[in-house]
Amino acid sequence: MERSQEPHAAAARGAVEVSLRRFDLADVDAMMVWASDPQVAAVCRWEPYESTEPLLAYLRDTVLPHPWFRAICVAGGDDRPVGAVSVSPTADPCRAELGYVVARAHWGKGVATAAVKRVVATVFGEVEGLERVEALVDVRNAASQRVLEKAGFRREAVLRKYRVLKGDVRDMVIYSFISTDPLETQPITPSPAAVRQRAPMEVTLRRFELSDVDAMMAWASDPAVAAFCRWEPYESTEPLLAYLRDTVLPHPWFRAICVAGGDDRPVGAVSVSPTADPCRAELGYVVARAHWGKGVATAAVKRVVATVFGEVEGLERVEALVDVDNAASRRVVEKAGFRREGVLRRHYWHKGRVRDLVMYSFISSDR
């Protein structure tokens, strides 16, 4: 990743110019210059390469088939790559993740910044449906943070204990550049009187069973409940039963929410789903409309964070991504002790619209 230089040196030199092109197999020797350098690899997921054979395999099997992976070349040079930049698809077609690396001989010369500027100037026109390019940078990597800021990315949040990097659980800074960026409300809380008058809700969490399908139908068929969920309201129990059987029951951490002292019928569901990084998981929850505003979701989420870190090996962070317009759900996680980290712009494609999401987290040391 690029490092900084003294301000007077930067001012004395004109802006560097770079070109981006597709890689070919003949680039393997030029790639080896940075791919074998331990200092370059220090903040990357991969270890330094010791020979060209595995690097050639990576170039052939990963780089060449990648939808948007480019060689960085210094304009006026010999067209040999001095680095690489990629824009990788995510689970949501409206957003992709930026990655880049530059050979150490070109650190501090503006190469990475120039390359990233070229990316955002062209990629939105080349990738259909793309609305957001995001970058996740180790909180200690000040040089890479400067690259993004100089390229016009907006710093959105620090995501605590977000990624495992070479055996360490790291905090990451998330940046974004959205398609409308130029190239160069307080949460509502209940009144004190209402808080004093209502006793805390008590709930229990248990595993689902196939016999819960009729109880689930009470919320799964409700358009008001489904409004902020990815799924559409169910019209019959058959597809819901299939979802229960094929997705819910095999899920590593998916629980029915039951009101304590009731009949053990689920009034909602809460899940903690694995992500690409084993140190973090994503929270999801839903509650039947008859139980909105009664503290059921908050009580369930509190139970989750009280137990899940002891049940899921290696888990350090539970995160919740909440639609910016879903004030009720934001209140749930805030009352459950989650920390608001930032707003992720155009992060999520939801029922035909690109949405901003609020990122919340609860880490193992928050208990």
Distance, in Å, from the CA atom of 22 to the CA atom of 140, rounded to the nearest integer, reads 31
Q: Of 245, 291, 252, whose CA–CA distance to 268 is shortest?
A: 291
Q: Write down the CATH number for the domain with range 7-178.
A: 3.40.630.30
C-alpha distances (whole Å) from 187 to each of 83, 283, 343, 358 are 44, 20, 14, 12
| pLDDT at residue 190, rounded to an integer | 41
| pLDDT at residue 154, rounded to an integer | 96
C-alpha 88: how far from chain center: 13
Distance, in Å, from the CA atom of 60 to the CA atom of 247, rounded to the nearest integer, reads 35
Print pLDDT tens along the chain (367 aa): 333 333 333 434 567 899 999 999 999 999 999 999 999 998 888 899 999 999 999 999 999 999 999 999 998 878 899 999 999 999 999 999 999 999 999 999 999 999 999 999 999 999 999 999 999 999 999 999 999 999 999 999 999 999 988 889 999 999 999 999 998 633 334 434 433 444 568 999 999 999 999 999 999 999 999 999 989 999 999 999 999 999 999 999 999 999 988 789 999 999 999 999 999 999 999 999 999 989 999 999 999 999 999 999 999 999 999 999 999 999 999 999 999 999 999 998 988 899 999 999 999 999 8
Domain boundaries, the chain: 7-178, 192-366
Side chain identity at residue 139, one-letter code: V
| pLDDT at residue 167, rounded to an integer | 85
Topology of domain 192-366 in CATH is Aminopeptidase (3.40.630)
pTM, full prediction: 0.76
357, 343 Cβ separation under 8 angstroms: yes
Q: Tell me if 7-178 shares its fold with 192-366.
A: yes
| pLDDT at residue 260, rounded to an integer | 85
Helical H segments across 110-258, by residue range: 111-126, 142-150, 192-197, 213-220, 223-226, 237-243
The backbone torsions φ and ψ at residue 224, rounded to the nearest 5 degrees and listed phi first, read: -65, -35
